[in-house]
Each structure stands twice: as structure tokens, then as C-alpha cells.
A and B are shown apart, each in its own frame.
Chain A
Amino acid sequence: MTGGMMLLEILVAALLIIGAAFTLIGSYGLLKLDQPMKRLHAPTKASTLGVGSLLLASMIHAFASGDASLHELLVMAFLFVTAPISGNFIAKVHLHRQRGGKELPPPPEEKTWATYAEQ
């Protein structure tokens, strides 16, 4: 085994451990945090980077073993584009539950936030 291959193997193994650790921390945060809005923070962030580095590991492994493939980039890009949207929708569900939004700070120029506007 050459030195370069060895280096790539170490990189893949490190990325796998980092990705798994972040994913685990995301789920642990989901269970540990005590308010609904706080819970939103842990999984949406930790999981995207977690799965991101797992995909990166898979990509580097494919390059090291000879058949180059880049299509993992698609899953990664898709996750990074959709994570904010689903996070925003879940935040809206939390806001919707506390109707009227009395705990929220009011917006500067007018009366209401968009979630409550049409009611």
C-alpha cells in the first residue's frame, strides 16, 4: 500500500467518524433540549453537516478505489437547499400553536408577522 492510499484511508475514516458524531449529537440534542423552538436547532444543523461528511467520505472512497463518482454531490446539495425550508416550516408550526404570538417581539413597522396575518 502506498503512502497516498494510506492518507486517503485515514481521511475517509476520519470523515466517517466526524459525520457519525455530528448526526448522533443532532439526535441527542433533539431529545435533550426542553423547548420546542430550541429543539429545532440541534437536528437541522448537526444532521446536514453529519450526512454531508458521510457523503464526502463515500465520494473520496470511490475516488480512492478507482471508479470516480460525483453524484453524492447531488444528495448533499439537495439536503443543503431543503434544510432551511423544512426548518422554516417546522418553526411556522411552532408559531402557529401559540396563536396571536404574544411571546414574540413585534415587527418594527407594523402590527403582525406573516403567519398570523391572514387570520
Chain B
Amino acid sequence: MIDTALFIAIGALGLAQILAMIRLVIGPHTGDRILALDTMVINAIGLIILLGLYLGTQIYFESALIFAMLGFVSTVALARFVLRGDIIE
């Protein structure tokens, strides 16, 4: 049963990733693109967790954590670059 649910979830997250990528490509504004990237990072974390469940290991947890941190920092850095034209003042 878990396997079926896992396959459905992986499919749904893959579809979500594609939808977010369409928004990333069509924009139209910078803010929308940053938001789409942020969403894609969160979806990617979900996919990594599902992969870990599927393979039955805990190894992928660290990569999920690092993705979460890098995603947050890069969202803030991008937003800050748009706001100030500079990241570190």
C-alpha cells in the first residue's frame, strides 16, 4: 500500500515541479520567477524525502536539509539583489 501511495506522490510532485517550471519560464516579472524557484526548491525537498522513503535509507536526509538551507538563502539573496542591486552591503 505504501508503495502505491509513494508512486502517486512521486508523480504528483513531478507534475508540481513541471507546473512551477512553466511559471519560471513565462514570468512575467522577476518576483514571479523568484517565487517559482522557491517553490521548485520546496518541491525538490519533497522529492528527495520520497526517494529516501522509496530506497529505505536515511542517507538522503542531509541533502534535504542542505537543499532547504540553500533554497532559503538563495531566495533571500535574489530578492535582496532585486531590491538593492547588491547582496552584501
- Produce 1/0 per residue, B13-45, CB < 8 A to A: 101110110110000011110111011001101
Chain A, Cβ-Cβ closest to B42: A47
- Distance in Å from the Cβ of A53 to the closest Cβ of chain B? 10
Instruction: Report the minimum CB–CB distance from A41 to chain B (whole Å).
Output: 10
The reply to whether A43 and B42 contact each other, CB–CB distance below 8 Å, is yes
**Do A26 and B64 touch (CB < 8 A)?**
no
Which of the residues B9, B20, B75 comes within 8 Å of A19, measured between beta carbons?
Answer: B9
Measured between beta carbons, the chain A residues less than 8 angstroms from B5 are 12-14, 16-17
Say whether B2 faces chain A, with CB atoms less than 8 Å apart: yes
Interface size on A, residues (CB 8 A): 52
**Contacting pair B35 A30 (CB below 8 A):** yes
A69 at the interface (CB under 8 A from B): yes
Q: Jot down 25 A-B pairs with beta carbons below 8 A, ordered by A.
A: A9-B2, A16-B2, A16-B8, A16-B9, A20-B10, A23-B43, A26-B16, A26-B42, A30-B19, A30-B35, A31-B20, A43-B35, A43-B38, A43-B42, A54-B46, A54-B49, A57-B53, A69-B58, A75-B49, A89-B76, A89-B80, A90-B31, A90-B75, A90-B79, A97-B29
Q: A16-B6, A24-B16 are in contact. List 13 more A-B contacts (CB 8 A).
A: A13-B2, A20-B9, A21-B12, A24-B12, A24-B13, A36-B29, A43-B38, A51-B49, A54-B9, A62-B58, A82-B68, A82-B72, A93-B82
- A residues near B, CB below 8 A? 9-10, 12-14, 16-17, 19-21, 23-24, 26-28, 30-31, 36, 39-40, 43-44, 47-48, 50-51, 54-55, 57-58, 61-62, 65, 67, 69, 71-72, 74-75, 78-79, 82, 85-86, 89-90, 92-94, 96-97, 115
